[in-house]
Amino acid sequence: MATTASFIIVSRNDIPIYEAEVGSATKREDAAQLHQFVLHAALDIVQDLAWTTSAMFLKNIDRFNDLVVSVYVTAGHTRLMLLHDSRNDDGIKSFFQEVHELYIKVNFLQLGCSVHVLVFHLSIVEKN
């Protein structure tokens, strides 16, 4: 099943650390820019919502046409944001948790280094 999905990691200072298109569907040329725009527009909503709950996984916080934004916030306010069109909450939650673990491991290598490890992992995201 072809899915569109776009994933970014944003640090606590609102600096994008990592971006990737992880869906399996074929992309239009401007789709990447549109996805990036939608994800960044959702940052304000995440900001407000993050203070109302102590959970890490905030489910669908925003939608655009048929695409939905889901967010996972860590204690250090690093936001893992996924733009997708599927509805598999549990799969997405476990995806976020695996990315969180990988992020912590990569973090120890060097703050801000390129995340080849994550790129490899995200090829597994078709389970969404």
Site for other proteins, rule CB under 8 A: 12-13, 50-51, 53-56, 73-78, 100-101, 103-104, 107-108, 111
Tell the smallest beta-carbon distance from residue 114 to other proteins (Å): 17
Inter-CA distances, 102 with 2, 4, 74, Å: 25, 22, 13
Tell the smallest beta-carbon distance from residue 25 to other proteins (Å): 32
Closest listed residue to residue 38, CA positions, set 11, 12, 72, 7? 7
Tell the smallest beta-carbon distance from residue 37 to other proteins (Å): 26
Closest listed residue to residue 9, CA positions, set 72, 68, 66, 57? 72
CB closer to other proteins, 32 vs 104:
104
- Residues 72/79, Cβ–Cβ less than 8 Å: yes
Tell the smallest beta-carbon distance from residue 40 to other proteins (Å): 20
CB closer to other proteins, 56 vs 67:
56
CB closer to other proteins, 74 vs 86:
74
CA 79/CA 72 separation, integer angstroms: 6
CB closer to other proteins, 57 vs 64:
57
Three-state SS across 56-86?
A: CEEEEEEEECCEEEEEEECCCCCEEEEEECC
